[in-house]
Amino acid sequence: MSKYTIWIDFGTKSGRAVLVDISNGEIIATAVHPYANGVIDEVLPGTEIRLPPDWALQDPNDYLEVVKRTIPAILRESGVAPGDVIGVGIDFTACTMLPTTADGTPLCFLPEWRANPHAWVKLWKHHAAQPEANKLNEIARQMNQPWLDRYGGKISSEWFFPKAWQILDEAPEVYEAADRLIEAADWIVWQLTGVETRNNCTAGYKAIWSKREGFPPDVFFKALDPRMEHIVDEKMRREISFLGERAGGLTSEAARWTGLKPGTAVAVANVDAHVSVPAATVTEPGRMVIIMGTSNCHMVLSKEEHHVPGICGYVEDGIIPGYFGYEAGQSCVGDHFAWFVENCVPAVYAAEAEAKGLTLHQLLEAKAARQKPGEHGLVALDWWNGNRSVLVDVDLTGLLIGQTLATKPEDIYRALIEATAYGTRLIIENFESHGVAIKEIVATGGLPNRNKLLMQIYADVTGREVKIAATNQAGALGSAMFGAVAAGRAAGGYDTIEEASAAMARLREEAYAPIPEHSAVYDRLYQEYVILHDYFGRGANDVMKRLKRLRAEVFGGGVEHA
Amino acid sequence: MSKYTIWIDFGTKSGRAVLVDISNGEIIATAVHPYANGVIDEVLPGTEIRLPPDWALQDPNDYLEVVKRTIPAILRESGVAPGDVIGVGIDFTACTMLPTTADGTPLCFLPEWRANPHAWVKLWKHHAAQPEANKLNEIARQMNQPWLDRYGGKISSEWFFPKAWQILDEAPEVYEAADRLIEAADWIVWQLTGVETRNNCTAGYKAIWSKREGFPPDVFFKALDPRMEHIVDEKMRREISFLGERAGGLTSEAARWTGLKPGTAVAVANVDAHVSVPAATVTEPGRMVIIMGTSNCHMVLSKEEHHVPGICGYVEDGIIPGYFGYEAGQSCVGDHFAWFVENCVPAVYAAEAEAKGLTLHQLLEAKAARQKPGEHGLVALDWWNGNRSVLVDVDLTGLLIGQTLATKPEDIYRALIEATAYGTRLIIENFESHGVAIKEIVATGGLPNRNKLLMQIYADVTGREVKIAATNQAGALGSAMFGAVAAGRAAGGYDTIEEASAAMARLREEAYAPIPEHSAVYDRLYQEYVILHDYFGRGANDVMKRLKRLRAEVFGGGVEHA
């Protein structure tokens, strides 16, 4: 008789529950529930309070509603008996964090704090803590904090401590009232199990924690602000739970919400990107998983610790227990193509696409696919949204070179695709030159299913075979695997994530091998990319930053903008 | 009683005659006649002969048809008595040249040569003599020919001797049979007057002639090919006529063609661009005329000879007698904006333009005009069609830097306009640093009337007032002026081009003064342009050329192009 796990994926705009047969990874039922308050970036719900620029909040009640709506729905739809559901896995956006009381009640649920924006959830893309991030990085450098190396030399404003510090800076009364500051991923597990756990994935990638060194020392936090000296002991906890562990069993209340049995195993929470790795069949070194969507997220495992400059970070046991999990990224991939299609494709192409029943993306792909590498004469730097790896510089911008009066839209479209592939190759070469081997690529996420040209170009440019994860929902499948591991073999699940991956994850039959004559041309074009990358990205000509500064000055100048 | 002159402008696709009142420059009547054979670049008329790439021929009979159709038409339309037309002026594209017999009969009119493409007119944009141009430049450098300096160090494949040499190389029998090789401008004057003249404008700018040194020495031509040693004496003539001189009077036959009086003064021929200078009120140093159309042509006068690197050339008496006339150019201006509108503006903009009754150019101008300088954060290099001045390098290509996901089409449109203005400023600074002063700009041609934003940006970027020639037809008016000077004061015309310009040319009342706060921002952006210009244009990073070579290799590789 089959056993099942449920994963719940908490995304940016909605939550989704999926019921998975753990014998083969097959998806049996799915239900989605959009957050009623969505991304809160204009007005605080129930108030007239307008939020400043760069703010992005959420309402934790929306997460609970996802649990209450979606799980009963998939049980109904599938007819699966609650007793056959042996585990629940969670993945979440991160760092998405909130202040709570000691029993886990979000401060924003309490009437006395409801009108204070700092009492709500700060979503991953809340960018208003940049001043705190800048100060934190400066102080960390001054104090020679060794952990800086693990994060490519820079902590992002999106991460945990800049967000916590912003609360203290701007709303010390909220900071004071918060017994706990916690990742939403861990908070929802707490709501389901009654047990406060802290998962090592968000702790490692977002909160400067490592298995060997723990959190930064109190003296560092004191240097940020004396009131933060004991933030870890006062507002967090030092005990960290590991991926694949059982956080606890469903409480009776959570069982009532969901229709599942009390005591059903709930896995320690995870992050959407990281959980995709075993779902893409990767539980060993040498195979890079690239999650390709609006941006690219590159994940690779290694038995050894290597200091790799310019990556997002690496965490021991952060992706798969027993390995250092390395993460790098490109800020602008799907977003890049979407920008191009929205802003740069003429009406005659729109008409042609409509006549042929294609999207503009499909039309451009079809036209660009007729070209040979090098034919359009263009090279781009894929920095429309800054550079995450390996330059770690949000102030870099885009470049396109080689245009003539004969340049067509499909030429530029192809050049933008190629630029993201060059960026990935540079990330791969950076890993390899620092000891982390990458033999092949497994692509997952939204883009690999939609654009064959993109996949072939990645293979040709990187010189590595690109395989495609069979599932369209790697985040889902990965969480289901961790749910099955949390349940354990005795309950019909698995003992290790490797076992779960072997049984539940698959690759597609189609794969993209490098075409040697293409790779030969791309080797030359990549050299051009590297020259431009280093010239504009490493300080020889900071024109991009000067243009950005000038732009800010012009906007700040207060001159009328008709 | 008013006196009139007629100018005939022989363009690339048609000829146009205009009747002008010489007392005030007013245009009384206009007639256009399209060339029946147009630009011949595919099949030789009346044959099955296919022309190779880069060829562009014309049929001299089309020029005669223009004379026969348009002049009677404007006389009819205006009711002006032939006796009141005191002179005829000609301007022509250049270098547009053909082989003829000793009496001026084009070889292509003769049955025995009609099927040979080399017997026809080679139009200015015939680019198939590039191998000859390359060899010519190499030999000239080896022989330290002093005249190379007058042409920025390079003779173009569009000019006279590369075209003549191509005839010799590929059709020695045509070269042998030709008694004369002559500019079409001079040929049409010959047809009208029976007198073979050679004007100093095309001789100077296109055929390496100067007032002081004449043509290059025979030993140079011998070095090209021994059969060319005596090309000047055998196929051309050393006597050169000057602008404003009377070439001759209309022959009886030409009088019958046109309805004008026999003996009516015909001026020495001119070039369309150069004749625009006095029509833009400029007959003195310090005021640069920019003819702004698909490309920019920059003309400025100086009493002294200055070696200015990177310009198209300078010719003593080449524009206005008594002055050295300097010419520089930008290859891609109106073409640039047209390319952008055709290839890079999305359907929603097309719909908005239609709803508002605007062209896409007008819509983009309106949106771009709302911005402050520096606001879009972009800089472009305006090399989509290579760089004419000051780098003189057709293998350079375009660049756009600074794009973000917020970049809009109007941002790029404005950046392209600005890039052409930076290019013009660089040309101006190059002139000034070599002794040729430029105090103000007079713009003429098609663009100044259509785009106020463009004019303001040129003023802001160059820091110079930009005035606009009153006439929309500066070529027409300038030719009419030279016709009036050829007739002379005794016949009711003028003795000098200065007198004619003072009477017949005017500026518009509107002028564009630099706005100091704009200029301050553009000074900074221009510095960025210069850094990029020198980095990509002067050999530090020849990526543009490498991309072009790679492109040629890919095309040449013979791999199937689906």
The reported pLDDT for the residue numbered A63 is: 98
Q: Which amino acid is at A525?
A: L
A332–B399 CB contact, under 8 Å: no
A401–B405 CB contact, under 8 Å: no
Closest-CA residue of A relative to B366 is A562
Chain A residues within an 8 Å CB radius of B372? 554, 557, 559, 561
**Residues near B3 by Cβ (< 8 Å), separated by ≥ 6?**
B21, B22, B23, B84, B85, B86, B484, B487, B491, B492, B493
Separation of alpha carbons B341 and B354, rounded Å: 14
Provide the token pair at B385: 């069609």
The reported pLDDT for the residue numbered B216 is: 98
**Burial group, residue A242, by CB count within 10 angstroms (0-12, 13-18, 19+):** middle
Q: What is the 3-state secondary structure (H, E, C) of A515-559?
A: CHHHHHHHHHHHHHHHHHHHHHHCCCCCHHHHHHHHHHHHHHCCC
Residue A173 to residues A26, A98, A168: CA-CA distances in angstroms?
49, 14, 8
Closest-CA residue of B relative to A336 is B405
Q: Match 């470049």 to its residue by tokens.
A: A399
The partner residue sitting opposite A546, judged by closest CB among B375, B528, B548, is B528
**Residues near A357 by Cβ (< 8 Å), separated by ≥ 6?**
none
Residues in chain A: 562
Q: Which of residues 321-340 of B touch A (CB under 8 A)?
A: 332, 335-336, 339
**Residues near B94 by Cβ (< 8 Å), separated by ≥ 6?**
B124, B183, B185, B201, B202, B205, B206, B271, B272
Chain A residues within an 8 Å CB radius of B294? none
B405–A550 CB contact, under 8 Å: no
Chain A residues within an 8 Å CB radius of B561? 370, 372
**Residues near B433 by Cβ (< 8 Å), separated by ≥ 6?**
none
A547–B531 CB contact, under 8 Å: no
**Burial group, residue A308, by CB count within 10 angstroms (0-12, 13-18, 19+):** buried
C-alpha angle B200-B201-B203 in degrees, rounded to nearest 5: 60
* Other beta carbons within 10 Å of A33: 19
CB A25 within 8 A of CB A6: no
Separation of alpha carbons B386 and B378, rounded Å: 20
Q: Which element (helix H / strand E) includes A479?
A: helix A474-487
Q: Which element (helix H / strand E) includes A121?
A: strand A121-122
Separation of alpha carbons A3 and A355, rounded Å: 48
Q: Which of residues 337-366 of A touch B (CB under 8 A)?
A: 339, 342-347, 350-351
The partner residue sitting opposite A555, judged by closest CB among B375, B379, B405, is B375
Closest Cα of chain A to B544: distance in Å?
A: 6
CB B382 within 8 A of CB B332: yes
**Most A-contacting residue of B335, B354, B396, B405 (CB-CB within 10 A), to test interface:** B405
The partner residue sitting opposite A405, judged by closest CB among B347, B385, B559, is B385
The partner residue sitting opposite B384, judged by closest CB among A384, A404, A559, is A404
**Most B-contacting residue of A404, A518, A529, A561 (CB-CB within 10 A), to test interface:** A404
The reported pLDDT for the residue numbered A559 is: 33
Separation of alpha carbons B534 and B543, rounded Å: 13
In the three-class reduction of DSSP (H, G, I as helix; E, B as strand; rest coil), residue B317 is classed as: coil
Q: Which of residues 270-329 of B touch A (CB under 8 A)?
A: none
Closest-CA residue of B relative to A404 is B384
Closest-CA residue of A relative to B351 is A347
**Burial group, residue B293, by CB count within 10 angstroms (0-12, 13-18, 19+):** middle
**DSSP secondary-structure letter at B43?**
B
Separation of alpha carbons A58 and A72, rounded Å: 24
A535–B554 CB contact, under 8 Å: no
Separation of alpha carbons A312 and A305, rounded Å: 15
The reported pLDDT for the residue numbered A561 is: 30
**Mean pLDDT, 10 residues at a time, chain B of 562 residues:** 90 92 92 96 93 91 98 97 95 95 98 97 92 95 94 90 98 98 98 97 96 96 98 97 94 97 95 91 97 93 94 93 95 91 97 97 97 96 92 90 95 98 98 97 90 96 97 83 90 94 94 97 98 97 94 64 30
Q: Match 């046991």 to its residue by tokens.
A: A317
The reported pLDDT for the residue numbered B223 is: 98
Q: Which of residues 85-124 of A touch B (CB under 8 A)?
A: none
Q: What's CA A440's distance to the chain center, in Å?
A: 21
Radius of gyration from C-alpha coordinates of chain B = 24
Q: Match 């790679």 to its residue by tokens.
A: B550
Q: What are phi and psi of A455, to 5 degrees?
A: -65, -45
Chain B residues within an 8 Å CB radius of A548? 377, 402
Separation of alpha carbons B131 and B229, rounded Å: 19
Q: Match 């794009």 to its residue by tokens.
A: B403
The reported pLDDT for the residue numbered B377 is: 95
What stretches of B371-506 adopt beta strand conformation (E)? Answer: 379-381, 398-403, 438-444, 466-469
The reported pLDDT for the residue numbered B1 is: 67
Q: What is the pLDDT of residues A249-294, one digit of tens each?
A: 999 999 999 999 999 999 999 988 899 999 999 999 999 999 998 8
The reported pLDDT for the residue numbered B556 is: 66
A440 pairs with which residues across the strands?
Answer: A287
Closest-CA residue of B relative to A331 is B405
The reported pLDDT for the residue numbered A53 is: 77
What number is the ipTM of this complex? Answer: 0.89
Closest CA to A59 of A42, A41, A92, A36: A36
Q: What is the pLDDT of residues A365-395, one digit of tens each?
A: 999 999 999 999 999 999 998 898 999 888 8
The reported pLDDT for the residue numbered B141 is: 95
Query: pLDDT exceeding 90 applies to what percent of chain A?
Result: 84
B547–A370 CB contact, under 8 Å: no
Q: Which of residues 510-549 of B touch A (CB under 8 A)?
A: 517, 521, 524-525, 528, 531-532, 535-536, 541, 543-544, 546-548
* Other beta carbons within 10 Å of A394: 18
Chain B residues within an 8 Å CB radius of A554? 372-375, 521
Separation of alpha carbons B288 and B465, rounded Å: 11
Chain A residues within an 8 Å CB radius of B409? 343-344
Q: Which amino acid is at B68?
A: K
B401–A397 CB contact, under 8 Å: yes
Q: Where are the alpha helices (DSSP H) in B321-376?
A: 334-343, 347-356, 360-369
B403 pairs with which residues across the strands?
Answer: A398
* Other beta carbons within 10 Å of B549: 15
Chain A residues within an 8 Å CB radius of B370? 561-562
Q: Which of residues 215-244 of A touch B (CB under 8 A)?
A: none
pLDDT, mean over chain A? 94
The mean-pLDDT minimum among A276-290, A455-469, A541-555, B133-147 falls in: A541-555
Q: What is the pLDDT of residues A304-320, one digit of tens each?
A: 999 999 999 999 999 99
**Residues near B331 by Cβ (< 8 Å), separated by ≥ 6?**
B295, B383, B385, B386, B387, B388, B394
Separation of alpha carbons A177 and A107, rounded Å: 8
Separation of alpha carbons A490 and A502, rounded Å: 18
Closest Cα of chain B to A352: distance in Å?
A: 12
**Most B-contacting residue of A382, A524, A547 (CB-CB within 10 A), to test interface:** A547
Closest CA to A124 of A99, A94, A157: A94
Separation of alpha carbons A361 and A367, rounded Å: 10
Closest Cα of chain B to A44: distance in Å?
A: 26
Q: Mean pLDDT across the stretch A232-239? A: 97
Chain B residues within an 8 Å CB radius of A559? 372, 517
Separation of alpha carbons B216 and B197, rounded Å: 19
Please report how many Cα atoms fall inside a 13 Å half-sphere around the Cα of residue B318, on the Cβ side: 31
The partner residue sitting opposite A397, judged by closest CB among B332, B404, B561, is B404
The answer to whether the pTM exceeds 0.95 is: no
In the three-class reduction of DSSP (H, G, I as helix; E, B as strand; rest coil), residue A289 is classed as: strand
CB B108 within 8 A of CB B63: no
**Most A-contacting residue of B348, B383, B403 (CB-CB within 10 A), to test interface:** B403
CB B221 within 8 A of CB B229: yes
The reported pLDDT for the residue numbered A1 is: 67
Separation of alpha carbons A80 and A78, rounded Å: 5
Q: Where are the alpha helices (DSSP H) in B434-561?
A: 452-462, 474-487, 497-504, 516-537, 543-556
Q: What's CA A522's distance to the chain center, in Å?
A: 29
Closest Cα of chain A to B548: distance in Å?
A: 6
* Other beta carbons within 10 Å of B261: 15
Closest Cα of chain A to B434: distance in Å?
A: 28
CB A250 within 8 A of CB A193: yes
The partner residue sitting opposite A531, judged by closest CB among B543, B554, B559, is B543
A332–B405 CB contact, under 8 Å: yes
